[in-house]
Amino acid sequence: MSRLASGVFVLWGAATLCFLVLSLRGDTVSAIVGAGPPPTPELRARIVAEYGLDDPLWTRYLRWLRSLLSGDLGWSYQREEPVTHLLSSQVGPTLQLAVTAAVLGAGIAVLVTAFLTGRGRAADTVLTGLSVLSVSVPTFWVGALMLGLFSFAIPLFPAIGDTGPAGLVLPSLTLAFPIAGALTQVMAQEVRTAESMPFALTVRARGATDRRLRLNHTLRHSLLPALTLTGWILGMLIGGAVLIENVFARPGLGRVLVAAAAGRDLPVVTAVVLLSATAFVVINLVVDLVLPFVDPRLRAEVDR
């Protein structure tokens, strides 16, 4: 129950902060009118009356919050369509990119941990350095490098705007690199720790090879700390998608969010932020429920 209450508080805080930042900045009437000649005094007065912009801030906030609670995400100022319809048409490409990148990142981390960890001090040093580098380098720089190398110098993949499977390769790989690097660091350290524990000595005494020990026993120990990084991975996917979709000119929520923030399209920005916060809360709740079943020690603590 406390986790659920914390999740509700996170959603409320994200929505409120978004409302305050966008409401206290600039001319809302100009944002509603959009590009073009400035609104006439008559048009400005009509918009102010229609949207209640002359009401006190707390009145507008309560009215806006009531609409959110009723499921009404509002009307996009820029796109001139319901926000729900706009998001439903853009969430698919972003979800496709995020899921593909997450699967690639996790797969690379598992393979590297299983077959390259423990090959000697020099190999571990190189592996750690590459992992740190993959997390530290900005994704937009990696994306630009991938474009220059595999779309222009060696034209293996389409450059920008392709929504097919080939156009998904470079964006998803770019987004997967920091995920793979972070997971590899955590999992490799956990594998080294597990292989020095008494049960590992017992397994070796029974004639198991190092590879069999790792694949059948110690690799499973590394999955628990990897699960605890789920929230960070989700944040990386959301933030990375905003950059990657713009670098590769892909459709999706990232491009919608950037355009809406630039045009102060409050309903769209709020809806995207709330959708991201909801995904963060739900996934972390699921992880909290799954962890006790993965690790018996946590299940014992929950029972107590």
DSSP string, 32-61: HH-SSSPPPHHHHHHHHHHHTTTS-HHHHH
Query: Model confidence over 33-89: pLDDT tens digits?
Result: 766 677 778 878 887 787 777 788 888 888 888 888 887 888 888 788 888 888 888
Instruction: Of 193, 213, 191, give the one whose Cα is nearest residue 204.
Output: 213
Mean pLDDT score of the chain:
81
For 82, the 3-state DSSP assignment is strand
What pLDDT, on the 0 to 100 scale, is given for residue 302?
Answer: 47
Instruction: Of 45, 30, 6, 14, give the one whose Cα is nearest residue 238.
Output: 14
**Run of H or E including 302:** helix 296-303
Distance CA 47, CA 45 (A): 6
Distance CA 12, CA 241 (A): 23
Instruction: Of 106, 133, 79, 95, give the one whose Cα is nearest residue 245.
Output: 95
Q: What are the residue ranges in the chain where pLDDT is below 50? A: 302
User: In this structure, are residues 97 and 245 in contact, taking their beta carbons and an 8 Å threshold?
Assistant: yes
CA dist 41 → 23, 34, 44, 57 (Å): 21, 15, 5, 22
Any bridge partners for residue 206, and if so which? Answer: none
Any bridge partners for residue 75, and if so which? Answer: 82
What pLDDT, on the 0 to 100 scale, is given for residue 140?
Answer: 82
What pLDDT, on the 0 to 100 scale, is given for residue 172?
Answer: 92
Residues 190, 196, 201, 204: what is their CA dihedral angle, to the nearest 10 degrees?
60
CA dist 235 → 43, 103, 192, 225, 241 (Å): 41, 15, 28, 17, 10
Distance CA 130, CA 135 (A): 9
Q: What are residue 162's phi and psi, to 5 degrees?
A: -80, 125
